[in-house]
Structure 1
Amino acid sequence: MELTPELPTTFNQENFHEICDQLAEMDADLKSVLEKYGYPPMWTRPNTFETLVHIILEQQVSLASALAALNKLREKTKTLTPETLLLLNDEEMRACYVSRQKAAYLRGLALSLQNGETDLTLFPSLPDEKVREKLIRLKGIGHWTIDVYFMFVLQRIDIFPLGDLAAINGTKRLKNLPAATKEEVLEITNHWKPFRTVACMIIWHFYLSRTGVAAAPVF
């Protein structure tokens, strides 16, 4: 009896294009994206406090606005760490374009890291459900934020962020289903298992190439 090779749980520079090719064999529409636009960038971010700050800042605002706020925080703190962020008062946070609500989220994250309740260095070795369980406890970190963290930081291979409008709208456009519900989009994405993260990157690549936006959807 032959053993089935164990599927990878993460993607990397060595297997990224191979996974794209496998998805192209699974779905003719994804294949058409690769043929027309080439492989998507392999978008990643480091596993740092600053990265989680950036993702929180990106919630429900434009990418440009989030990056402007992040750059202001970098400029103000010199090195953006839990310790330096916690030194900023409300007025300084506002001057960095950070709303009162998001300032509370960032301080909560900073305190959790500072007191050891959250340890980012442990997450790469933990299963998805354990990481989600730990992060969802933090105020201001919901499933979209966690999905983005899984995809771009931990490089987990089978995540599709249903809370991401570019992912949803890109899928609808690719499949020519403008009126599809989220449930119907989810059903489509189920056919891309166990490589939904990379499929989503192909979708983003398609969406950005079509709209002419020269930036990753969550960067």
Structure 2
Amino acid sequence: MKNNIPYLLQKDIVFQQIIDLYGEPIISSRPQGFESLCKLIMEQQVSLASAKACYLKLESFLGNVNPKSILQASDEDLRSNSISKQKIVYLKELSKAILNKELLLETLAKKTENQIKTELTAIKGIGNWTAEVYMMFCLQKEDVFPIGDIALQNTLKELYPVSSKEEMIELSENWKPYSSLATYFFWHYYLKKRNREPLIY
């Protein structure tokens, strides 16, 4: 993905400014599969540090995070491991979809972004943000722009004269077909400016 940086530098001076300030962005990657989707569900609307602590606690309790172990655990067990009532429902719905073969994660890499998003968002608890970040981190799809991401929105407001999501989406047209790389640039800027590092677990 990084070999497309020259394309973005030609399209928009802001990317060179980010490199001058903080160097090239880190391209995040996670393994494809169930565990990564569980982590993303747990990262919804909470800090990454909080989600990491919660996931590691769950992993310690279950021994192995997989669809069977999630479904075998009672709601009380999961709540005692700091998982909200809503996210228990989401994790169990995902687990059922995997076991019932309604969702075949191993086939997603060969599909288009729209096909992947349609299949993932059919599962209760997986919205556009979760599907899009999975496509970026796990499938390394190159033209994904997760507009629902708050850090991305805040960074675009800092760097461009935009305020609405509609304006941000229009702006992102300039970075196609490498919107994912543009997003990594903005996340890189967001973290570095706040003296934070990407969270890995």
Give the match's secondary structure for 1:46. coil
Give the alignment partner of residue 68 of structure 1, picking from 20, 29, 53: 53
Tell me if the contact between 1:85 and 1:110 (Cα under 8 Å) persists in the aligned partners.
yes
Residues 74-132 of structure 1, C-alpha deviations (whole Å, 9 max, x = no match): 10111111111111111110111101111011001001101111110000011122211
- Quote the offset at 1:138 in angstroms: 0.6
- Given the alignment of the two structures, is residue 162 of structure 1 paired with residue 147 of structure 2, yes or no? yes
Q: Which residue is 1:7 aligned to?
A: none
Q: Which residue is 1:45 aligned to?
A: 30
Distance, in Å, in 1 between the alignment partners of 2:3 and 2:23 is 13
- How do 1:108-187 and structure 2 match up within 5 A? 108-175=93-160, 177=161, 180-187=163-170
- Quote the offset at 1:17 in angstroms: 2.4
Structure 2 runs not aligned, ≥5 long = none
Q: Which residue is 1:9 aligned to?
A: none
Distance, in Å, in 1 between the alignment partners of 2:6 and 2:28 is 17
The TM-score, its normalising length taken from structure 2, stands at 0.95
Q: Which residue is 2:179 aligned to?
A: 196
Distance, in Å, in 2 between the alignment partners of 1:39 and 1:104 is 39
Residues 176-210 of structure 1, C-alpha deviations (whole Å, 9 max, x = no match): x3x62111111111111110000000011011111
Q: Which residue is 2:17 aligned to?
A: 32
Distance, in Å, in 2 between the alignment partners of 1:105 and 1:59 is 11
Report runs of 4+ in structure 1 exceeding 6 Å deviation.
none
The TM-score, its normalising length taken from structure 1, stands at 0.88
The worse-fitting range, judged by mean Cα deviation, of 17-26 and 57-66 is 17-26
**Letter of the structure 2 residue corresponding to residue 142 of structure 1:** G
Distance, in Å, in 1 between the alignment partners of 2:178 and 2:45 is 26
Q: Which residue is 1:13 aligned to?
A: none
Tell me if the contact between 1:25 and 1:31 (Cα under 8 Å) persists in the aligned partners.
no
Distance, in Å, in 1 between the alignment partners of 2:88 and 2:166 is 33
Structure 1 runs not aligned, ≥5 long = 1-15
Tell me if the contact between 2:2 and 2:181 (Cα under 8 Å) persists in the aligned partners.
no
Give the alignment partner of residue 190 of structure 2, picking from 180, 186, 207: 207
Distance, in Å, in 1 between the alignment partners of 2:111 and 2:144 is 15
- Quote the offset at 1:21 in angstroms: 2.2
Distance, in Å, in 2 between the alignment partners of 1:181 and 1:128 is 24
Distance, in Å, in 2 between the alignment partners of 1:205 and 1:32 is 12
Distance, in Å, in 2 between the alignment partners of 1:184 and 1:97 is 37
Distance, in Å, in 2 between the alignment partners of 1:134 and 1:17 is 28
Give the alignment partner of residue 59 of structure 1, picking from 44, 62, 67: 44
Q: Which residue is 1:85 aligned to?
A: 70
- Quote the offset at 1:36 in angstroms: 2.0
Q: Which residue is 2:91 aligned to?
A: 106
Tell me if the contact between 1:45 and 1:51 (Cα under 8 Å) persists in the aligned partners.
yes
Q: Cα RMSD (Å) of the superposition? A: 1.4
